[in-house]
Amino acid sequence: MPVHNADIAAVFEEIAELLEIQSANPFRIRAYRNASRTLAEFGRDLATLLRKGEELPKIAGIGDDLARKIHEIVETGTCALLERLHKELPPAVTELLKVPGLGPKRVRALYDELHIQDLKALEQAAERRQIQRLHGFGEKTERRILAALRAHKEKKRRFKRSLAAQYAEAIAAELRRVKGVVKVDIAGSYRRCQATVGDIDILVTAPSSDGVMRRFTNYDEVAEILAQGHTRATVVLRSGLQVDLRVIARPGYGAALTYFTGSKSHNIALRKRAQGRGLKLNEYGVFRGSSPIAGESEESVYAALDLPWIPPELREDRGELEWAERAALPELVERSELRGDLHCHTKASDGHASVSEMAVAARARGHRYLAITEHSQRLKISRGLTVERLLKHMDEIDRLNERLKGITLLKGIEVDILEDGALDLPDDILGQLDLVVGAVHSHFDLPPARQTRRLMKAMAHPHFSLLAHPTARDLDKRPSMDADWLRVIRHARERGCFLELNSQPVRLDLPDTWCRVAKEEGVKVAINSDAHSIEDLDDLAWGISEARRGWLSAEDVLNTCGIRDLRRLLKATM
Asked if 40 interacts with DNA (CB under 7 A), we say: no
Asked if 336 interacts with DNA (CB under 7 A), we say: no
149 vs 569, which CB is nearer to DNA? 149
Provide DSSP, 529-561.
--BSSTGGGGGHHHHHHHHHHTT-BGGGBGGGS
**Closest approach of DNA to the CB of residue 337, in Å:** 33
**Residue 14 backbone phi and psi in degrees, to 5:** -65, -40
Distances (CA, A) of 447 to 352, 443, 444, 483: 36, 10, 9, 8
**Closest approach of DNA to the CB of residue 520, in Å:** 22
Which one of 60-68, 342-350, 373-381, 509-517 is the stretch in contact with DNA (CB under 7 A)? 60-68
Asked if 422 interacts with DNA (CB under 7 A), we say: no
227 vs 387, which CB is nearer to DNA? 227
What is the C-alpha to C-alpha distance for residues 47 and 211, in angstroms, rounded to an integer?
56
Which one of 31-39, 167-175, 356-364, 503-511 is the stretch in contact with DNA (CB under 7 A)? 31-39
Which one of 223-231, 343-351, 418-426, 449-457 is the stretch in contact with DNA (CB under 7 A)? 223-231
Fill in the per-residue mask, 121 to 140: x = in contact with DNA (CB under 7 A), - = not in contact: -----------x--xxxxxx
Asked if 275 interacts with DNA (CB under 7 A), we say: yes
Q: DSSP letter at 385?
A: B
35 vs 361, which CB is nearer to DNA? 35
Q: Site for DNA (CB under 7 A): which residue of 37, 183, 280, 352?
A: 280
Closest by CA position to 511, among listed 466, 555, 470: 470
**Closest approach of DNA to the CB of residue 477, in Å:** 24
Long-range contacts at 384-388 (CB < 8 A, ≥ 24 apart): 384/349, 384/416, 384/424, 385/348, 385/349, 385/413, 387/425, 387/426, 387/429
Asked if 319 interacts with DNA (CB under 7 A), we say: no
Asked if 240 interacts with DNA (CB under 7 A), we say: no
**Closest approach of DNA to the CB of residue 226, in Å:** 8
Which one of 117-125, 216-224, 262-270, 467-475 is the stretch in contact with DNA (CB under 7 A)? 262-270
Asked if 74 interacts with DNA (CB under 7 A), we say: no
Asked if 462 interacts with DNA (CB under 7 A), we say: no
**Closest approach of DNA to the CB of residue 71, in Å:** 12
Asked if 216 interacts with DNA (CB under 7 A), we say: no
- Cα 397 → chain centroid: 36
Q: Site for DNA (CB under 7 A): which residue of 281, 358, 417, 458?
A: 281
Instruction: Enumerate the β-bridge partners of residue 233.
Output: 228, 245
Asked if 78 interacts with DNA (CB under 7 A), we say: no
Asked if 27 interacts with DNA (CB under 7 A), we say: yes
What is the C-alpha to C-alpha distance for residues 320 and 548, in angstroms, rounded to an integer?
13
Distances (CA, A) of 567 to 433, 434, 558: 11, 8, 11
Closest by CA position to 435, among listed 501, 353, 372, 361: 372
61 vs 311, which CB is nearer to DNA? 61
142 vs 374, which CB is nearer to DNA? 142
48 burial via Cβ count (<10 Å: 0-12, 13-18, 19+): middle
Instruction: Enumerate the β-bridge partners of residue 530.
Output: none
Asked if 103 interacts with DNA (CB under 7 A), we say: yes
Q: Site for DNA (CB under 7 A): which residue of 105, 238, 399, 568?
A: 105
Which one of 228-236, 340-348, 429-437, 439-447 is the stretch in contact with DNA (CB under 7 A)? 228-236
Helices 104-114 and 119-127: crossing angle in degrees, nearest 10, is 70
Asked if 102 interacts with DNA (CB under 7 A), we say: yes
Asked if 25 interacts with DNA (CB under 7 A), we say: yes
Asked if 232 interacts with DNA (CB under 7 A), we say: yes
CB 193 within 8 A of CB 313: yes
Asked if 289 interacts with DNA (CB under 7 A), we say: no
Residue type, 213: M
Instruction: Enumerate the β-bridge partners of residue 370.
Output: 341, 409
Query: For the chain, give me the number of helices (H) and strands (E)?
Result: 24, 17
**Closest approach of DNA to the CB of residue 460, in Å:** 40
**Closest approach of DNA to the CB of residue 105, in Å:** 3
Site for DNA, residues 138 to 157, rule: CB under 7 A: 138-142, 144
Asked if 282 interacts with DNA (CB under 7 A), we say: yes
489 burial via Cβ count (<10 Å: 0-12, 13-18, 19+): buried
What is the C-alpha to C-alpha distance for residues 472 and 481, in angstroms, rounded to an integer?
6
Asked if 222 interacts with DNA (CB under 7 A), we say: no
Asked if 263 interacts with DNA (CB under 7 A), we say: no
114 burial via Cβ count (<10 Å: 0-12, 13-18, 19+): middle
Element (H, E) at 242: strand 242-248
**Closest approach of DNA to the CB of residue 248, in Å:** 10
Asked if 30 interacts with DNA (CB under 7 A), we say: yes
Which one of 58-66, 173-181, 372-380, 494-502 is the stretch in contact with DNA (CB under 7 A)? 58-66
Instruction: List all residues 6 or more positions away from 51 whose beta carbon is below 8 Å from its beta carbon.
Output: 74
Closest by CA position to 184, among listed 256, 263, 267, 235: 256
Q: Site for DNA (CB under 7 A): which residue of 283, 350, 357, 521?
A: 283
What is the C-alpha to C-alpha distance for residues 44 and 474, in angstroms, rounded to an integer?
24
Asked if 92 interacts with DNA (CB under 7 A), we say: no
Q: Site for DNA (CB under 7 A): which residue of 78, 162, 231, 354?
A: 231
For the chain, first and last CA: distance in Å? 39
Q: Site for DNA (CB under 7 A): which residue of 120, 176, 272, 392?
A: 272
CB 407 within 8 A of CB 439: no
- Residues near DNA, by CB under 7 A: 25, 27-28, 30-32, 35, 60-67, 81, 99-107, 132, 135-142, 144, 201, 227-232, 244, 264, 267-268, 271-272, 274-276, 278, 280-284
